[in-house]
A and B are shown apart, each in its own frame.
Chain A
Amino acid sequence: MTMYATRTRNARPEPFTVHVGIAERLGIAHLDWPLTLAAVSLIVFSVFTLGQATQNDVPGDPNYYLDRQAIYALLGIVGMFVLTRIDYSRFRELRVGIYTFLCASVSLVFVFGFAARGSRRSFELPFFSFQPSELGKLLLVLALAGFVIDGARRGSEVQRTIRYLCLGLAPAALVFLQPDLGTSMVYVVATLAVMYFGGVPWTHFAVIGGALVALVALVLVVAPAVGTPVLKGYQQERLTSFLSPHEHEAGAGYQQNQSVIATGAGQLTGRGDKATQTRLDFVPERHTDFIFAVIGERYGFMGAALVLFLYALLFWRALRITTLSKNSYGTLVAGGIAVALLFQTFVNVGMNLGIMPITGIPLPLMSYGGSSVVATFLAIGVLQSINVQAHLSQKGRFAW
């Protein structure tokens, strides 16, 4: 007994002397575990759902989507852990390079891109197609946060706001031209989020908001009316058809109608293998954009609500990291990632539930697709890195 007490007193570690245990060595000691849990649970759910719902999609290969999504998940998780061990602050120093790479990669698809359904979004690589605009979401946040921190003391507030906007909107415009309306919207939202966490005055946001409203009105109403449409016909129809799905039952509203029917038909506990809506092709793009409807039909409210809960957990942990960050750069990066995830989740799920337009934004960690899965895991790796660095800097507060 006494010996124990003595040993205890003597063994008290020096302040700030870190005992390097196995967890530290692996870099997982200071991970945000709920965040990890949410992300891994979502990808497991995704792989599971794809395995069950897409068995007949590719003739002769019932596990086509399952196998590939599982590989993407493993790649993403490895990438996440690698990033966890890297101090994210280095990305601030590399901002110009990152930004250049971002703009170059989203531009290069115009030259070398693989055209699918009339748009060039990805490169065809030997094993999978790489869609630079997906990784670009993270790159944009990393670079733009650097520019915001760096330029914090140059120019007036208005000049700075305009500079940030231009920096963010340039890649957004490139992506829009691919054309990929949904992803370009994510870029705009991420840009605004970084600016928001960077402290751009509320008044500027009010002006930007007003300008956005005017732009939407111009694009959707005025431009087609004067005969110089900005959006392609299908884009416009998709954006507006959700307002009156029954008028467009055969056209753009069809997909959404079927998605809503599928989700509703799942009821409380789901239809399992009797899920005809999603099994018999009524719901289009069911492995990508409309995977939430598949979950809704197969697993019912219980499954879909669980998925929503996991996204809420993900968002909460990401937002929490903004407040823990050891520096402003981490706050801006975490804020940009958190808002981008929230935006994508809401727009995609809302689209599946018939309350948001069809924009082709994938559901992070759930929709099938290597670029999206890996890029999202990398973003979560950056969040983890911010969390780890906050703990290592010993300034972390335990809020919430």
Chain B
Amino acid sequence: MYLRNDQRPQGSRLSLRVAVVGGVGVALFAVLFFRLWNLQVLSGDEYLAEAQNNRTREFKVIAPRGDILDRNGEVLVDNRTSLALQLNTEKLPEDPAEERAELARVGDLAHMSLRQIRRTIAKGEEVAAGAPVTLRQDVGFDLIAYVEENQDEFPGVAVQRVFVRHYPDGTRAAHVLGSVGEVSEEELKQAEFKGLEPGDEVGKAGAEYSYDRFLRGEPGHTRIQVNALGQPTPGGQLVSEPPTPGNSLKLTIDGKVQAAGEGALGARGLPGAFISMNIDTGEILAMGSNPTYDPTELTPPMTQAQVNQLYRDPVLAPLVNRATEGAYPTGSIFKIITALAALENGVITPDTVVQDNGKIEVGGQPFENAGGVAHGAVELRRALQVSSDVYFYLLGLDMWKTNDLQEWAHKLGIGRPAGLDLPEEGETLLPSKAWHEQFVKEGLALEDRPWSAGDNIQLATGQGDLQTNPLQMAIAYAALGNGGKIVTPHVGLEVEDAAGRVLKEFSFGARRRIHIDPTFRTAILEGLHAAAQEGEGTAAGVFGGFPIEIAGKTGTAERPGHGDQSWFAALSPYPNPRIVTVATVEEGGFGAESAAPAVLDILEAIYDKQASAVSSAGGAE
């Protein structure tokens, strides 16, 4: 190496070194150039899309759910806004220690322990993975300010303004209204929930479920330009699509009647149910089940005590709508079906007289009237008025070999789906020879014996294996009242927009029509009227002083392992009925003891007339 500063550097040596550096320079610039080409020209589209995605955040604007009104426009359910402390678990820190620290900080805010928070998150993930989990509803405004100011400390935590269902009257019509909840993963896969996202609220039970598509609104969207910190930039609102609120649903329910029915059952403090329905249209005016619940309590988060009370009590089971999901023998209110079957099949005429000595014996087995009372010579009207069991035992015996009784019961809707517009419709059972044989074949019967006369005799008086509910009995009574139309029971009346304009009226035509001879119908109604309001009528003591004439029947069902279940079914007004009302009270004793007074309470509300006290006590069944 010879370097002499006064000389020019050696040409060839230097040239080589300069050339090498030049070559390196060319190579490096080529790398940059081609990288730039690749980024901008070849894959520019992708990066542009990514940049677009980067700069905007889409915020969903939740649509308020439609209100639910009663037939007079009274609000049964509306919304209130609530501030919910929500946690987006996907945005929690990945580092477990940091996550823990954040959850602990969140816990301080929400007054929850770390364990409670983790459990809430786990539950939320079960319902809808990926949706923000609501830790606490109804937090204060100060909390929003705090979380927003310290967003760095709370990644994934947001205070959301949410709509919460509000029930102005607490428990009223709870079973009809149903409840809402987050859409489940299974539901998201179904066509009717298309377009929903995890975390969206849908109807889970009752009318909220059945009419969800009308009640559910369309969420709106706001696209906001944000900076790298995710903060909205000034004037950066790009698109705003306001939410479309859900439409209001008007129910056939009459709030006043509903309240009366619930009050009547609640006052007795026993489990039971009632239904009141228009016999021509199938519009349900009132329907309820006791014990009931406050749907507000179904709004998460629920306390363990609430869960236990609502879901885990097999006896009281407050969530069960006993009017449609119950499965009971009905006792004597079934007798109109037996009567119709016997009349229509020529077993008797309305004037056929039977000697009632208080009991009969079939195949060595005694069947007695209630209390062993002998009613003497009775024809149909009298048999219904005093509820002569012997009369109907004999009809059951006469129709034992045939399937006539079952056919008529089936025609009138016993033991088959009623087509109610609510999801809650329970299993029922109409015992028959065919069913019995199948039952025995499957080894389910306690004793291996053929279908006996006794079985049919039991059915003739609404006993035995019969399992039905107030709804089915109401439909059967309605058919008698309207002359043979099997109505479709429903609670949905019409859909209205926010301004009250009717958007859609629901029409529920008759499910089918059966032929009932008018003279038979008249005879039975006469018997029922006598039972309810004349002399020795079983319910005369209850309805004798009621200014509206009705036709009604008491029932006292024997349930193995339970006390007698009280029933009453009424068609009003007599003789041209428009409304059927059925009530039942578990362990309520005789029909006239608890179910009939409950029906009276309901009828008083319907007709806005009070019954005057009557002194004459009705006869026992």
A199-B3, A305-B36 are known contacts. Are A261 and B54 too (CB-CB below 8 A)?
yes
Is A267 an interface residue, CB under 8 A from the partner? Answer: yes
A199-B1, A319-B25, A323-B14 are known contacts. Are A349 and B9 too (CB-CB below 8 A)?
no
Contact, CB under 8 Å: B55 / A282? yes
A198, A262, A315, A353: the one within 8 Å of B35 (CB): A353
Contact, CB under 8 Å: A149 / B25? no
Is A152 an interface residue, CB under 8 A from the partner? Answer: yes
Is B31 an interface residue, CB under 8 A from the partner? Answer: yes
Is B506 an interface residue, CB under 8 A from the partner? Answer: no
A92, A265, A326: the one within 8 Å of B8 (CB): A326
Contact, CB under 8 Å: B21 / A327? no
Contacting residues of chain B (245-291) with chain A, CB-CB under 8 angstroms: none
B4, B36, B55: the one within 8 Å of A276 (CB): B55
CB contacts (< 8 Å) of B225 on chain A: these are 276, 280
* Chain A residue at minimum C-beta to C-beta distance from B37: A301
CB contacts (< 8 Å) of A277 on chain B: these are 51, 54-55
CB contacts (< 8 Å) of A312 on chain B: these are 25, 29
A196, A297, A325, A354: the one within 8 Å of B9 (CB): A325
CB contacts (< 8 Å) of B52 on chain A: these are 265, 276
Is A133 an interface residue, CB under 8 A from the partner? Answer: no
Contact, CB under 8 Å: A355 / B31? yes
Contact, CB under 8 Å: A281 / B50? no
A148-B3, A277-B51 are known contacts. Are A265 and B44 too (CB-CB below 8 A)?
yes
Is A130 an interface residue, CB under 8 A from the partner? Answer: no
Contact, CB under 8 Å: B28 / A152? no
A264-B40, A304-B40, A349-B32 are known contacts. Are A328 and B228 too (CB-CB below 8 A)?
no
Is B109 an interface residue, CB under 8 A from the partner? Answer: no
* Chain A residue at minimum C-beta to C-beta distance from B13: A199
Determine the distance from Cα of A199 to Cα of B9 in the docked complex, in whole angstroms.
10
A300, A329, A346: the one within 8 Å of B40 (CB): A300
Contact pattern, A 340-351, Cβ under 8 Å of B = 1, otherwise 0: 001000100110
Contact, CB under 8 Å: B15 / A311? no
Is A322 an interface residue, CB under 8 A from the partner? Answer: yes
Contacting residues of chain A (334-393) with chain B, CB-CB under 8 angstroms: 335, 338-339, 342, 346, 349-350, 353-355
Most chain A CB within 10 A, of B21, B31, B51, is at B51
Contact pattern, B 319-346, Cβ under 8 Å of A = 1, otherwise 0: 0000000000000000000000000000
Most chain B CB within 10 A, of A149, A160, A319, A328, is at A328
A91 to chain B, nearest CB (A): 12
CB contacts (< 8 Å) of B3 on chain A: these are 148-149, 152, 198-199, 328
Determine the distance from Cα of A201 to Cα of B25 in the docked complex, in whole angstroms.
21
Contact, CB under 8 Å: B14 / A266? no
A157, A327, A335: the one within 8 Å of B6 (CB): A327
Determine the distance from Cα of A305 to Cα of B37 in the docked complex, in whole angstroms.
9
Contact, CB under 8 Å: A264 / B39? yes
* Chain A residue at minimum C-beta to C-beta distance from B93: A250
Contact, CB under 8 Å: B33 / A281? no
Contacting residues of chain B (530-561) with chain A, CB-CB under 8 angstroms: none
Is A331 an interface residue, CB under 8 A from the partner? Answer: yes
A157 to chain B, nearest CB (A): 7
Is B17 an interface residue, CB under 8 A from the partner? Answer: yes
Is A260 an interface residue, CB under 8 A from the partner? Answer: yes
A262, A281, A339, A346: the one within 8 Å of B51 (CB): A262
Contacting residues of chain A (217-274) with chain B, CB-CB under 8 angstroms: 258, 260-268, 271
CB contacts (< 8 Å) of B403 on chain A: these are none
A368 to chain B, nearest CB (A): 19
Determine the distance from Cα of A267 to Cα of B39 in the docked complex, in whole angstroms.
8
CB contacts (< 8 Å) of A197 on chain B: these are 14, 17
Contact, CB under 8 Å: B54 / A267? no
CB contacts (< 8 Å) of B227 on chain A: these are 280-282
CB contacts (< 8 Å) of A92 on chain B: these are 5
* Chain B residue at minimum C-beta to C-beta distance from A322: B18
CB contacts (< 8 Å) of B31 on chain A: these are 346, 350, 355
Contact pattern, B 40-52, Cβ under 8 Å of A = 1, otherwise 0: 1101111110111
Is B355 an interface residue, CB under 8 A from the partner? Answer: no
CB contacts (< 8 Å) of A267 on chain B: these are 40-41, 44-45, 48
CB contacts (< 8 Å) of B226 on chain A: these are 280
* Chain B residue at minimum C-beta to C-beta distance from A303: B40
Contact pattern, A 162-189, Cβ under 8 Å of B = 1, otherwise 0: 0000000000000000000000000000
Is B304 an interface residue, CB under 8 A from the partner? Answer: no
Contact pattern, B 168-184, Cβ under 8 Å of A = 1, otherwise 0: 00000000000000000
CB contacts (< 8 Å) of B233 on chain A: these are 280
B1, B14, B54: the one within 8 Å of A157 (CB): B1
CB contacts (< 8 Å) of B44 on chain A: these are 264-268, 301
A157-B1, A319-B22, A353-B39 are known contacts. Are A308 and B32 too (CB-CB below 8 A)?
yes
Interface SS of B by simple majority: helix
* Chain A residue at minimum C-beta to C-beta distance from B29: A312
A152, A196, A264: the one within 8 Å of B2 (CB): A152
Contact, CB under 8 Å: A308 / B29? yes
CB contacts (< 8 Å) of A268 on chain B: these are 40-41, 44
Most chain A CB within 10 A, of B21, B41, B46, B55, is at B21
A198 to chain B, nearest CB (A): 6
Determine the distance from Cα of A157 to Cα of B229 in the docked complex, in whole angstroms.
56
Contact, CB under 8 Å: A339 / B21? yes
Contact, CB under 8 Å: A328 / B7? yes
Determine the distance from Cα of A16 to Cα of B39 in the docked complex, in whole angstroms.
54
A272 to chain B, nearest CB (A): 13
A38 to chain B, nearest CB (A): 13
Determine the distance from Cα of A166 to Cα of B3 in the docked complex, in whole angstroms.
20
A311 to chain B, nearest CB (A): 7
CB contacts (< 8 Å) of B228 on chain A: these are 258, 280-282, 284
Determine the distance from Cα of A354 to Cα of B36 in the docked complex, in whole angstroms.
10
Contact, CB under 8 Å: B17 / A301? no
Contact, CB under 8 Å: A296 / B36? yes
Determine the distance from Cα of A277 to Cα of B225 in the docked complex, in whole angstroms.
11
B21, B37, B39, B51: the one within 8 Å of A338 (CB): B21
Is A86 an interface residue, CB under 8 A from the partner? Answer: no
Contact, CB under 8 Å: A263 / B36? yes
* Chain B residue at minimum C-beta to C-beta distance from A284: B228
Determine the distance from Cα of A43 to Cα of B459 in the docked complex, in whole angstroms.
102
B23 to chain A, nearest CB (A): 11
A282, A297, A301, A327: the one within 8 Å of B36 (CB): A301
Is A44 an interface residue, CB under 8 A from the partner? Answer: no
* Chain B residue at minimum C-beta to C-beta distance from A148: B3
A133 to chain B, nearest CB (A): 23
* Chain A residue at minimum C-beta to C-beta distance from B51: A265
Determine the distance from Cα of A304 to Cα of B21 in the docked complex, in whole angstroms.
24
Determine the distance from Cα of A387 to Cα of B154 in the docked complex, in whole angstroms.
61
Contacting residues of chain B (191-236) with chain A, CB-CB under 8 angstroms: 225-229, 233
A190 to chain B, nearest CB (A): 13
Beyond contacts A281-B229, A296-B39: 19 other A-B pairs, Cβ-Cβ < 8 A, are A193-B21, A198-B3, A201-B1, A258-B228, A260-B47, A265-B44, A265-B50, A267-B45, A276-B52, A296-B40, A301-B41, A311-B29, A319-B21, A322-B14, A331-B9, A335-B21, A346-B31, A349-B32, A353-B36
| 3 pairs of A and B residues whose beta carbons are closest in the complex | A264-B47, A267-B44, A265-B51
A residues contacting B by CB (< 8 A) are 92, 148-149, 152, 157, 160, 193, 196-201, 258, 260-268, 271, 276-277, 280-282, 284, 296-297, 300-301, 304-305, 308, 311-312, 315-316, 319, 322-323, 325-329, 331, 335, 338-339, 342, 346, 349-350, 353-355, 395
Q: List 23 A-B contacts (CB under 8 A).
A: A149-B3, A152-B3, A160-B1, A199-B1, A263-B40, A263-B47, A265-B51, A266-B44, A267-B44, A268-B44, A277-B54, A280-B225, A284-B228, A301-B36, A301-B37, A301-B41, A315-B25, A316-B25, A319-B18, A327-B8, A335-B21, A349-B32, A353-B35
B residues contacting A by CB (< 8 A) are 1-9, 13-15, 17-18, 21-22, 24-25, 28-29, 31-33, 35-37, 39-41, 43-48, 50-52, 54-55, 225-229, 233
